[in-house]
Amino acid sequence: MKRLSALFLALLLLTGLCGCGAAEDAGEEKTEHSGLRVVTTIFPAYDFTRVICGERGEVTLLVPPGAETHSFEPTPQDLRRIESCDLLVGNGGESEAWLDTLLDGAEGGFRTLRMLSCVDALEEEEKEGMQDLHEAEGDGPEYDEHVWTSPRNAAAICRAICAELCALDGEGAESYRANCERYCAELEKLDAAFRETVEKGRLRTLVFADRFPVRYFVEEYGLDYYAAFPGCADDAEPSARTVAFLIDRVREQRIPAVLYIEYSDQKMADVVCEDTRCGKCLFHSCHTVSAADLAEGATYLKLMWSNVESVREALG
């Protein structure tokens, strides 16, 4: 927190050194743009808002593609972008503590929405066999912040974003609502596909030879799971005990494939696969995407549909 406070003071000083001209430029930019200005912190917020806003506004992503939210350090330019926006859509939670510090001194009449507040938040679990990192990281339970991994949660978030846009731009309300309902219809199809996959699967257990940022997903579809680390654990080498536990579960339940998360080095999954001869599949949490993937048109829906196939293979 001391580091965040120091960073915030530095931002204020740097912003002040820019003088009145910088403030005027930001105001002029906002006036010149005919639609709403929306700043989003992470990829799911960006992708949902982009679809619902359509052509009536400009939606930007604050945390660069592929960057780690927990260690993101905002710049004075980021502060100005927020102060000149109409709506800020963030995630909330510990991983965005830097945003709360930034907002304490931000000026402007912008509205804020946190995705974590749009649904019933769930605490991370310490499952049997999972490497216990809380003692090292301190201070007890944390909430799983990856609320969008449930398509039904995603729909609730989209409707909350739509309501904010309608409040800001009444003339565009019909367009926002139409965009939102079309998108929620696609989320319903995705949800139905996951339910069908789970129903037809031989198993009801997923094994993540990796971190586990998908508690909302397994809760939504009534699945059990085993994993090496809790959802937002820092990178760490798994203990031999943790790896052995996962190998035993794969053998006992004849798990056809273990899952790993995007940006994983896959080493643990490879060890489990080598020992059990099972397969491995990517489950994309959709927390972030690379700049290349974003440029090539990566979307929440595309990534989650690929997860349908991964879950199908993992459940047998």
Q: Domain segments of the chain: what residues?
A: 2-182, 200-315
pLDDT in tens, 26-77: 333 443 445 899 999 999 999 999 999 999 999 999 999 998 888 888 898 9
CA distances from 64 to 43, 139, 171, 208 (A): 9, 29, 32, 27
Please give the full DSSP string across the chain, using - where no structure is assigned: -HHHHHHHHHHHHHHHHTHHHHHHHHHHHHHH--SEEEEESSHHHHHHHHHHHGGGEEEEESSPTT--STT----HHHHHHHHT-SEEEE--SGGGHHHHHHHHT--S--EEEEGGGGS---B----TT----HHHH-SS--B---GGGSHHHHHHHHHHHHHHHHHH-GGGHHHHHHHHHHHHHHHHHHHHHHHHHHHH-S-SEEEESS----HHHHHHTT-EEEESS-TTPPP-PPPHHHHHHHHHHHHHHT-SEEEEETT---HHHHHHHHHH--EEEEE---S---HHHHHTT--HHHHHHHHHHHHHHHH-
> What distance in Å separates the CA atoms of residue 130 and residue 126, rounded to the nearest whole number?
6
- Classify residue 181 by burial, with Cβ atoms within 10 Å: 0-12, 13-18, 19+: middle
What does the pLDDT read at residue 108? 82
Is the pLDDT at 134 greater than 80, yes or no? no
Same CATH fold assignment for domains 2-182 and 200-315: yes
Q: How many CB atoms lie within 10 A of CB 204?
A: 14
- Give the confidence band of 151 by pLDDT, cuts at 50, 70, 90: very high
Strand-by-strand arrangement of the 36-40 sheet: 57-61, 36-40, 87-90, 111-114
What does the pLDDT read at residue 132? 62
Contact 36, 30 (CB under 8 A): no
Contact 148, 181 (CB under 8 A): no
Contact 181, 152 (CB under 8 A): no
> What distance in Å separates the CA atoms of residue 274 and residue 278, rounded to the nearest whole number?
8
- Give the confidence band of 180 by pLDDT, cuts at 50, 70, 90: very high
**81 closest CA partner among 132, 22, 128:** 22
Is the pLDDT at 131 greater than 70, yes or no? yes
> What distance in Å separates the CA atoms of residue 172 and residue 56, rounded to the nearest whole number?
7
270 contact partners, CB below 8 Å, separation of at least 6: 280
**242 closest CA partner among 125, 132, 140:** 132
Mean pLDDT of the chain: 86
- Give the confidence band of 141 by pLDDT, cuts at 50, 70, 90: low
Is the pLDDT at 3 greater than 50, yes or no? no
- Return the C-alpha torsion angle 267, 271, 272, 277, nearest 10: 120
Angle, helix 76-83 to helix 2-17, in steps of 10 degrees: 80
What does the pLDDT read at residue 275? 97
What does the pLDDT read at residue 140? 52
Token digits for 259? 């899952």
Q: Which CATH class name applies to 2-182?
A: alpha beta
Q: What is the CATH number of domain 200-315?
A: 3.40.50.1980
